[in-house]
Chains A and B, each alone.
Chain A
Amino acid sequence: AQSVTQPDIHITVSEGASLELRCNYSYGATPYLFWYVQSPGQGLQLLLKYFSGDTLVQGIKGFEAEFKRSQSSFNLRKPSVHWSDAAEYFCAVGALGYSTLTFGKGTMLLVSP
């Protein structure tokens, strides 16, 4: 079975600073990887996804993520964080033969002025 680890429960970043949220997955074959964001009191919104091809994927709101097979990682990055980016971020993995996504436990992003 696949699994996802998000090592950081909370991260605080100054507004305007760069951001990197870590995600590691465990799966024997090529995974399908996703990042979702959950703003307070809201549902989950897809930021970006990796299925195949270019390992650097661009998403909405200026986010990008890089798939590194050798490190089993799919870290989320943003060059300059805005206060509105404060939210919970979830990494998820899908895999052939499994009919659902497996989510990490989330990373709460706090943005300081």
Chain B
Amino acid sequence: DTAVSQTPKYLVTQMGNDKSIKCEQNLGHDTMYWYKQDSKKFLKIMFSYNNKELIINETVPNRFSPKSPDKAHLNLHINSLELGDSAVYFCASSRTPTGGNTEAFFGQGTRLTVV
């Protein structure tokens, strides 16, 4: 059983398109995250939801819009894709917000390539 699953695993699309990445966790966690990993492997938080409420919204272009229909799902929609959006996007979840002794569980990542 996959704990945190993302779809699709690979996504190749043209500039200007709109795309979505889906994430689901079956761990019963309250908190979910989107991280972006750039070409240098640096991991940066984008968004975090706790009980479907947005709690972290880092400096991310408003072309990126997360949506959490329920605690087990956190989707990421990206409008008007740009070349610089090419990266690996990781979904993660944790029992509570990782502001302490709580570990995060990561999905396998979605490699987005914008051409």
Residues of A within 8 A of B (CB): 32, 34, 36, 38, 41-46, 49, 51-52, 88, 90, 94-101, 103, 105-106, 108
Contact = CB atoms under 8 A, between A and B. Distances in A.
B105 A46 contact: yes
Contacts of B102: 32, 94
B43 interface: yes
A100 B107 contact: no
Interface of B: 4, 31, 33, 40-45, 48, 50, 55-56, 90, 92, 97-109
Nearest to B31: A99
A90 B33 CA distance: 17
B80 to A, nearest CB: 26
B81 to A, nearest CB: 22
Contacts of B42: 103, 105-106
